[in-house]
Structure 1
Amino acid sequence: MDHSPAFGQADLSNCERELIHLAGSIQPHGALLVLRERDGLVVQASANCGDLLGLPADRLLMRPLSVLGGDLDARVRLLSAAPDLAEPRPLQAHTVVAGKAREWLLVLHRVPQQGVLALEFEAAGGSAPEVLVAETPSLMARLSEAVQRFGQAATIPALCDGITRCVRDLTGYDRVMVYKFDPDGHGKIIAEARHPRLETLLGHQYPSTDIPQRARALYLANRVRVLVDVHYQPVPLVPVQLPADPDGGRPQAEELDMSMCALRSMSPLHLQYLKNMGVTGTLVVSLVREGRLWGLIAAHHDTPRAISPALRAACDLLAEVAATRIAAIENYAHAQVAILVRRLEQRLVEATSTEGDWRLALFRNPRTLLQPLEATGAALFHDGEWLTTGEVPSTPELRQLLLWVDERYAEAPFATASVGRDEPLLESLTPVASGVLAVKLSNQRPDYLLWFRKEQLRTVTWAGDPAKPTVDDDPLTLSPRRSFAAWSEIVRGTALPWSAAELALGRAIGASLVDIIVQVNAVRLLVAEHQLAGVRATVQSSREPVAIADGNGHLLFANPAFAALMGRAPDSLATLDALAAAFTDPAQLQAGLDSVRSLHQAWRGELGLRRSGDGDGGEALPVGLRIELVPGRDGQVLGYILVLSDLRDSHRADAARRHLEDALQQAGRGGRNDAAAEVPGSPADQVISAILTNASLAAMDIADSAGGPGVAPLLEEVEASARRAAVLYGRIRQLV
C-alpha cells in the first residue's frame, strides 16, 4: 500500500515520499495549458490564464488553441508532430490579447502515459521580477569561453571553480555553488562564486535528507529548475485533475504528472527551507555522470529573479559539457592507476623470477604498498601465512577481521571507514584499523590483501545542526532547520573514507596480484614437479588463458581457459609450431619467440586466431598474446609462459571511438546550419567548435585509459552527451 503523502501534505517524517511531481499548481510568472494530444483541445489550464492570455481558464477548456489567435496553434501543431517530445522543446509564437499581439517564449513536452501535451507560456522580454534575457552575441561569446575553459581543466576542483564563475557571470546570481554528492548521499559545496557581501559556504556539508529521493529522481529527469520568488502564491490548475478520457486510454480522472514542467510549484517544505536560508530566487542545474546524479550547480539570489528559456538552455548546455569533462578527468585518474599497477606488477614479476617469492618483494618497500592508498598499515594472508607492514592489529585480531570480511565480501574491493560502527565486536581495532580496504586473491581460499587506516578525529562543518530539524514538533517552524550558520562536529571512531580513486587502485592491485599469482604458479609447474598436482588446480581454475612450454618449444600445459579461447582440445596443443598454425600469420608468432630468446624480454603482439569449427570463411578472432621467458639459475631457458587475451572488447571500444569521431563530425555539420553560424571565428562558430573539441578531448582521455568492455559505453556516453549539447545549442540559436 502506497503511503506517499500528497503534494503539500508532507512533514519532515515523510518528505522522502512526498508526491512532488503531482504539484497541481505553477509559479505565477507564466501560464500552463494541457492539451489532449489526440485532438489538441485544452483539458486543463492554470487559473491565471485570464490575466496573461486574455481568456479565463474555464473559457479555454475543451477548446482549441486557435481561440487565442495569432500563430500559436499552427506552431504548436507543427512541433507536436515531433517524436522526441519527452524532453521539453522551445518555440516562439504570438497570441492576441485585448486586440494586440503578444509574443511568448513557450516550452512544449509530451506526457506519454497520460496522452497529453503540456504547453508553458513565459512572456518574451519577461514579466517576472528582475528577469534576465539573453543577448545573442554576448551569450555566444560567453558560452564559447566557458566551454573552452572547461576543456582545459585538468582537475575536478579547477573544473568546478570554472563552472561557478562562468555560470555566475552568465546569470548574475548572488551565489553559485557546485554541490557534490558522496556515496552516502550527503552533499558538500566544493566550489563557490559569490557576491563579496555574502559569507562563504565553501566546504559546508548538507545531510542527505535535505534532498529527498523523489527530488533527486526529478533532478535526473528535468535537469534545470528555476524558482523565481520563494514568496510566490501558487496558481492552481483548473480543473484540479485531468478529466477522464476513455478514448485516449485514461479511463479515470487523475492528477497531471508535472515532472518535466519548468513552472511546476515546489514543495512547501523546500520553500520554507529556502526562507530559513534567506534565499529568494534559485536556479539548480543537474550534473549527471553515467546516468547518476554526480552533483548540482546551485545558484541563489537575495531578490526575485527569473531567467529566460535561452539562458536556462545555456546553463543546461554548460552542465552537459562539464559532465563530459568530469567523466574524462575521473577516467584519466583511473588510467594513472593502471600505470602505477603495471609498474608494481613488473617489479613483482622480476622479483619472482630471481627470488621465487613475490610476497617478499611486495612487502620489501612498505612505502610502495602504503603511500598510493594513504594507508597506515597492510596485511597479506596467502597460503595460510600472514605478512604485515606498518601499524596493524595483532594476529588474533587479524584472523577475526578476516573472517568478518570474508563473510561480507561480495565485490572487489570491500571497504569501510569505521569497522567499529559496522561490527561492534571489532571496535577494539578502531585505533589502528578503523578503515579497512580488502581485495580477495583467490576464488578457492580466503586469501586477501588488506590495507588499514587509523582512526582520525575530523571536524565536519555542516550548514546548521542536522540533528535538530524541528522546534516544538512544528515541521514548518524549522524545516529542516532555522540556523544555517556553520555548525561543526567532531567525528570519532572513523578513518578518512576511501575515495573512488583509491578503491579503483585497490581493485587494480588485487587484479594484478591475481594475475601474478597465476604466473608464479605457472613457473612452479616448471621448477617443482612434486608440487604439480596442487599448483595445477590453481592454474586450471584461473579465468586467465595460460599455457606453458619448455625450452624446446613443447607445450607442457594449457589451462581450460586457454584451450577454450583457442577453440581446441587441450591435448591437441602439443608444440609451439602446432600452436602457431592456428593463427592467420604463424610467422608473427615465430618472430615473437625469436625476439624473446634473443632479447630475454617479454613479447606482446596482436594476432588473428582461426578457431576450430569456424571454417575457412570465418572471421579471425582478434587476440593478444604475451610471451614471458622463464630463465633458469644457470642461464638456460627453462621455458615460456604464454598468456592469451580476447581483444574483441578492445576492438569494440575502437569501433565506438571511430563511431564517436564520425558522430562529432556530423554534429559539427548539424550545429552550423545557418549563415550566421558558418562565419569562421563568429561566437556561434566558436561555441560549436568548443563543444566538439571538449567531446574529442574527453574521448581521447577515455580511450587512452584502457581497452575492455568499460570503454565502449563511456565513449557512447560522450557521443550522446555531445549530441545533446549540439541539440541544446541549436535550441539556443532558435531562442536568440
Structure 2
Amino acid sequence: MTQAATVPVLDLSTCDKEPIRTPGSIQPHGFLLTLAPDLAVLQASGNVGDWTGVAARDAVGQPLAAVIGAAAAQRIAPELAADLGPRPYYAGTITTANGHHFDVLAHEWDGVIIAEFEAVDRAEAADFRHLYPLIGDFLLKVNDATGIEALASLACQHIRSVTGFGRVLVYQFDADGHGHVTAEARDERYHSYMGQHFPASDIPAQARELYKLSRIRLIQDATYVPAPLVPALNPVTGRPNDLSFAALRSVSPVHLQYMRNMNTLASMSVSLMVKGKLWGLISCHNEGPIPIAFEKRTACEQLGQILALCIESREDAADLQFRLEVRRTMVSMLAGLTQGSDFVENLVNVFPDLLRFARASGAAIMVDGRVLTYGDTPEEDDIRALVDWLTLHDHGDVFHTDKLSAQYPPAERLTRNASGLLAMPISRIHKHYLLWFRPEWVHTIEWAGNPHAKAAATGAPTQLSPRTSFDAWRETIHGTSQPWHQGEIEMALEFRTALLGIALERAEQMAELAEELGRANKELEAFSYSVSHDLRAPLRHIVGFADLLLESAGSEDAQQRQRFLKNIKEAARLAGKLVDDLLSFSQMGRASLRPTTVDMNDLVASCLDKLALETRGRNIEWNIGTLPEAWADPTFLHLALFNLLANAVKFTGQRDPAVIRVSAEDHPHETVFHVADNGAGFNMEYVHKLFGVFQRLHRMEDFQGTGIGLANVRRIVERHNGRVWADSVQGEGATFSFALPKPDSSH
C-alpha cells in the first residue's frame, strides 16, 4: 500500500475540536505501557510485540517482567515505585529480553503510571553532558546579545548544533495569535522563513493550551502509522487516556499533513513561556526523519526556559524605559499647566508636549463648546461628531483603538489622519474631551503562504487538507494606526487624574474668590442647614473615633484599632461623597445646554453598561420598552437617567427578583418617560420633599446615598423646560417620571 493511500481524508472544519490530548495512540518509534501500582500491565500500545515479541493482548494483565524481561524490570522497578509527577522522568536505559535497547520515561497521570520505552542504539545510560556545554555557552553569550532577536538567533544556532535539525526558528505570537518569525538558523538548502508571519489558524486554541502544559514535543517521522492503545479505554477512569505529557503521544493527522505539505518529516517544538503566557515557540524542522534522544531534548527544553527568562527581563527593561520617557513628558506638561490661571490656555501652550506624550500626529481639546486643535487632525465638525459618539456610548475614563473605523463607521473617511484614537473626558459634568489622533499606518505583512486561501488536494474525490502553499505572500494593511502601548494608556489615566485635580483646584480658587467678593449662592443658603447636618455626622465620627484611637495607642488590641480606622475611613468617604455631589449640583446650574436629537434606547443601554458592577450578582429583570427619541443635551440627560436607574437598583436591593421597567408615552407637545421598580417605595405624604437637595425619605443605614441624585434629576429636567414627578405605594415600589418638550414646543 502506498503512503498516499494511508493518508486519511481530513475534515478541517473540526480540527479545532480534535481530541489531541486523548488520541488513543502513540508514535511508533517506541512503545507505551500503562501500569498499576504493583507494576502489572493495564494497557499496551499495539506495536509492543514488534519491539518485545509479546503481543499487546498477551501483555495486558501480566507483570512488567513478563513483557520486558526480569532483568530490565528489576532495573527500573525502583524508579517506577518513586513519587512520580506529571512530567516525564528518566527512569533509566534497559535492554529487553530480546536484545533491544530503550530509554524509559515514566510519569503518573490520569490514574495510572505511564511508562514510555523509546528505542535507542546504545545499551548504556543517557549522557546528560550535552546539557552543560549548551547551557553554559548560551549563558556566556547572553550579555553580548543586544536585543531579543539576537538572543533568539543565538538559541536557534545552539539547538541546531545539538539536534542536527535542518532549520530552527523562533517565532513570537502577536495580540491576534499570529506567529512572526524573529530568528532562524538553517542549512543553506532549506527555505528561509525569516521575517514571515504564520496565521493564528495554523495552531488551534486547544493546541496552544497544550503547548502551555507540555513544554516540548517531538515528531520523529511525519509518515508514521499510529500504534493504538490496547484496550482503548483507561481501566481506571473508563475513558480514553489523557496523554498530554506523554513524549510518544500521537499528534493530529491534520498537523501531520501540514508538515508533509511543508516538506517537513520531523519536527520539534519548545514552548517559550513569559509571565505565564505562551510568548512563542522554538520550532525545529527536518526534511527527513530524525531521532532526538531524551537527553538532547532535555537540553533544548532547558535552553528554551532560559531564553524565556531572558526575553522577560529584556521586555521588562524596555517597558520600564518607555514608561520613564512618557512620565518625563507628563511631568513637563503638568508643570506647564500650573503656570497661568486660564486652564484652557495652559493646555494649548503644552500642545507640542501633548503630541510627544502619546506619539500622536494631532491633538484636539473640546471645552465649553470650543474645539482647539494642533497638528494633523480631522475637521472641527468631524471632531464634534466624534465627541458626541464618545459621550453617548460612555467608554469610561479612557478610550483607545488602533482602528477607529471598526467601532465608529463614520471614521472610514478619516483614516488618513485618524485611524487611531486615544480619548478621555476631562470633566464629569461637561462635554470636555482631550483627544489624540494617529495617522494610518499602511504596512505590508509577508505571510508564509496566503492565510486566507482554503487549499484542497487534487484528485477525485476532492480531499480537504491543510494549506499546501508556504510561498511568501504579501498583504497590505490599511485603516489601522500604530498600536497604543499599554504604558501610554496607563499614563493617560494618570494624566487625566492630574488634570481633574488641577481643575478642582481652580474651582476651589474661584469659590474662594466668590466668597471674598460676597457673591453668596442663594440656593445654597436655602439648604445650608441640611448640608451642615449631613456633614456634621461623619465629621463627628472622624473626631470621635480618632480620640478613641489615641486613647488606645498603648493597647495591644490591634483588632479594635483596625475597627476605629475603618470607621474613620468610611466617615471620611461619606463626607467626601457629600462634597462631590454638592459640587456636581452647583455646577449643574452654570453649564450651558447643547440640545440635540438623542436616541433614548442607546442612552439606556449605556447607563446599564455603567451599572454593571453595581448589579453584578443581583437577580434583576430589566423590562426596557421601545423608546422614542428626545430633544435634549445628551450629557445631562445621561446623568439624569443614570440617577433614576441607579435609584431603582438601590431601592430594590431587598427584592429577588428585582423588576425595573423603562417605558415612554408620546404626546403631541411632549414625550414622557417612566422608570418603575418593585422596591421599597416611599410615603406619598412626603413626595414634596423627594426632589429637594439632601432630602431622604429612608434612613441612611437602610439605603446609602447623599440625597442629591434626585435634586440633580429635577434641575436637569427643569433646565430643559420639562417637569418631573413620582408616584409610589410604600413597600410595593415607585415610579419616577419626567416629561421633555418636543423641539417645536420648547420655546
TM-score by length of 1: 0.64
Whether the 8 Å CA contact 2:184–2:194 is kept in 1: the answer is yes
Q: Which residue of 1 aligns with 2:47?
A: 48
323, 336, 344: which one aligns with 1:351: 336
**For 1:244-297, what per-residue CA distance to the aligned partner results, in whole angstroms no more than 9, with x for missing partners?**
x4xxxx3xx321112111111221111111111111211111111222211111
Going from structure 1 to structure 2, the CA distance change for 1:407 and 1:121 (only over 3 Å counts) comes to farther
**For 1:425-472, what per-residue CA distance to the aligned partner results, in whole angstroms no more than 9, with x for missing partners?**
432222221122335556666655433222233222111112222237
**For 1:488-541, what per-residue CA distance to the aligned partner results, in whole angstroms no more than 9, with x for missing partners?**
122223333x15xx2322322332331343255236535642579xxxxxxxxx
Aligned to 1:468, what secondary structure does the other structure show? coil
Going from structure 1 to structure 2, the CA distance change for 1:373 and 1:515 (only over 3 Å counts) comes to closer
Whether the 8 Å CA contact 1:110–1:116 is kept in 2: the answer is yes
Q: Which residue of 2 aligns with 1:109?
A: 107
Q: Which residue of 2 aligns with 1:120?
A: 116
Q: Distance in 1 between matches of 2:84 and 2:355?
A: 52
Q: Which residue of 1 aligns with 2:662?
A: none
Q: Distance in 2 between matches of 1:195 and 1:82?
A: 43
Deviation at 1:323, TM superposition (A): 1.6
Q: Which residue of 2 aligns with 1:479?
A: 465
Q: Distance in 1 between matches of 2:565 and 2:410?
A: 64
**Counterpart amino acid of residue 61 in structure 1:** V
Q: Distance in 2 between matches of 1:408 and 1:335?
A: 33
**For 1:192-223, what per-residue CA distance to the aligned partner results, in whole angstroms no more than 9, with x for missing partners?**
12222233211211211111111111111111
495, 500, 503: which one aligns with 1:512: 495
Aligned to 1:40, what secondary structure does the other structure show? coil
Going from structure 1 to structure 2, the CA distance change for 1:392 and 1:570 (only over 3 Å counts) comes to farther
Q: Distance in 1 between matches of 2:344 and 2:186?
A: 53
**Counterpart amino acid of residue 423 in structure 2:** A
Q: Distance in 2 between matches of 1:612 and 1:356?
A: 47
**1:129-168 paired onto structure 2 within 5 Å:** 136-150=128-142, 153-168=145-160
Aligned to 1:192, what secondary structure does the other structure show? strand
Aligned to 1:613, what secondary structure does the other structure show? helix
Greater alpha carbon shift after TM alignment, 453-462 vs 271-280: 453-462
Aligned to 1:288, what secondary structure does the other structure show? strand
Aligned to 1:240, what secondary structure does the other structure show? coil
Whether the 8 Å CA contact 1:345–1:513 is kept in 2: the answer is no
Deviation at 1:405, TM superposition (A): 4.4
Matched, 1:32 2:57: no
Going from structure 1 to structure 2, the CA distance change for 1:62 and 1:12 (only over 3 Å counts) comes to same
Whether the 8 Å CA contact 1:413–1:506 is kept in 2: the answer is yes
Q: Distance in 2 between matches of 1:294 and 1:319?
A: 11
Going from structure 1 to structure 2, the CA distance change for 1:69 and 1:414 (only over 3 Å counts) comes to farther
Greater alpha carbon shift after TM alignment, 175-184 vs 448-457: 448-457
Q: Distance in 1 between matches of 2:398 and 2:91?
A: 50
Q: Distance in 1 between matches of 2:92 and 2:126?
A: 14
- Aligned-residue identity in percent: 34
Deviation at 1:615, TM superposition (A): 9.8
Aligned to 2:134, what secondary structure does the other structure show? helix
Q: Distance in 2 between matches of 1:568 and 1:325?
A: 56
Matched, 1:58 2:57: yes
Going from structure 1 to structure 2, the CA distance change for 1:426 and 1:516 (only over 3 Å counts) comes to closer
Q: Which residue of 1 aligns with 2:603?
A: none
Greater alpha carbon shift after TM alignment, 387-396 vs 42-51: 387-396
User: What is the aligned-residue RMSD (CA, Å)?
Assistant: 3.9
Q: Which residue of 2 aligns with 1:522?
A: 505
Aligned to 1:324, what secondary structure does the other structure show? helix
Going from structure 1 to structure 2, the CA distance change for 1:462 and 1:616 (only over 3 Å counts) comes to closer
- Structure 2's unaligned 5+ residue stretches are 1-6, 516-534, 570-747
**Counterpart amino acid of residue 140 in structure 1:** Y
Going from structure 1 to structure 2, the CA distance change for 1:206 and 1:408 (only over 3 Å counts) comes to farther
Q: Distance in 2 between matches of 1:12 and 1:505?
A: 41
Deviation at 1:54, TM superposition (A): 3.5
Q: Distance in 1 between matches of 2:80 and 2:366?
A: 65
Q: Which residue of 1 aligns with 2:218?
A: 226
Q: Which residue of 2 aligns with 1:457?
A: 442
**Counterpart amino acid of residue 190 in structure 1:** T
* Larger-gyration structure (1/2): 2
Matched, 1:197 2:189: yes
Aligned to 2:354, what secondary structure does the other structure show? helix
Matched, 1:364 2:365: no
Whether the 8 Å CA contact 2:218–2:269 is kept in 1: the answer is yes
Aligned to 2:330, what secondary structure does the other structure show? helix
Q: Distance in 2 between matches of 1:151 and 1:568?
A: 62
Whether the 8 Å CA contact 1:449–1:510 is kept in 2: the answer is no
Greater alpha carbon shift after TM alignment, 267-276 vs 8-17: 8-17
Matched, 1:275 2:260: yes
Greater alpha carbon shift after TM alignment, 383-392 vs 234-243: 383-392
TM-score by length of 2: 0.64
Aligned to 1:287, what secondary structure does the other structure show? strand
Going from structure 1 to structure 2, the CA distance change for 1:395 and 1:125 (only over 3 Å counts) comes to farther
Q: Distance in 2 between matches of 1:92 and 1:258?
A: 21
**For 1:12-54, what per-residue CA distance to the aligned partner results, in whole angstroms no more than 9, with x for missing partners?**
22211121222122112111111234x4322211122122234
Whether the 8 Å CA contact 1:147–1:318 is kept in 2: the answer is no
**For 1:611-658, what per-residue CA distance to the aligned partner results, in whole angstroms no more than 9, with x for missing partners?**
99249999xx9xxxxxxxxxxxxxxxxxxxxxxxxxxxxxxxxxxxxx
**For 1:55-101, what per-residue CA distance to the aligned partner results, in whole angstroms no more than 9, with x for missing partners?**
22122101222322356545655445555612222221424322x4x
Q: Distance in 2 between matches of 1:382 and 1:88?
A: 64
**Counterpart amino acid of residue 203 in structure 2:** I
Whether the 8 Å CA contact 1:470–1:477 is kept in 2: the answer is no
Matched, 1:92 2:92: yes
Going from structure 1 to structure 2, the CA distance change for 1:398 and 1:458 (only over 3 Å counts) comes to same
Q: Aligned pairs, how many?
A: 533
Going from structure 1 to structure 2, the CA distance change for 1:399 and 1:84 (only over 3 Å counts) comes to farther
Going from structure 1 to structure 2, the CA distance change for 1:214 and 1:41 (only over 3 Å counts) comes to same
Deviation at 1:305, TM superposition (A): 1.2
- Structure 1's unaligned 5+ residue stretches are 1-6, 128-132, 533-559, 585-609, 622-736
171, 174, 199: which one aligns with 1:179: 171
Going from structure 1 to structure 2, the CA distance change for 1:179 and 1:362 (only over 3 Å counts) comes to farther
Aligned to 1:97, what secondary structure does the other structure show? coil
Q: Distance in 1 between matches of 2:116 and 2:386?
A: 59
Deviation at 1:343, TM superposition (A): 1.8
Q: Distance in 2 between matches of 1:27 and 1:255?
A: 16
Whether the 8 Å CA contact 1:9–1:18 is kept in 2: the answer is no
Whether the 8 Å CA contact 2:446–2:473 is kept in 1: the answer is yes
Whether the 8 Å CA contact 2:440–2:480 is kept in 1: the answer is yes
Going from structure 1 to structure 2, the CA distance change for 1:69 and 1:436 (only over 3 Å counts) comes to same
Whether the 8 Å CA contact 2:142–2:151 is kept in 1: the answer is yes
Whether the 8 Å CA contact 2:362–2:373 is kept in 1: the answer is yes
Q: Distance in 1 between matches of 2:445 and 2:292?
A: 35
**1:15-30 paired onto structure 2 within 5 Å:** 15-30=15-30
Whether the 8 Å CA contact 2:105–2:115 is kept in 1: the answer is yes
Going from structure 1 to structure 2, the CA distance change for 1:517 and 1:230 (only over 3 Å counts) comes to same
**For 1:78-136, what per-residue CA distance to the aligned partner results, in whole angstroms no more than 9, with x for missing partners?**
445555612222221424322x4x54322222223xx1221111134479xxxxx9865
**Counterpart amino acid of residue 87 in structure 1:** R
Q: Distance in 1 between matches of 2:462 and 2:30?
A: 27
Aligned to 1:91, what secondary structure does the other structure show? strand
Q: Distance in 2 between matches of 1:348 and 1:312?
A: 54
**1:534-613 paired onto structure 2 within 5 Å:** 613=561
Q: Distance in 1 between matches of 2:283 and 2:347?
A: 46
Q: Distance in 1 between matches of 2:333 and 2:346?
A: 6
Going from structure 1 to structure 2, the CA distance change for 1:375 and 1:350 (only over 3 Å counts) comes to closer
Q: Distance in 1 between matches of 2:357 and 2:163?
A: 41
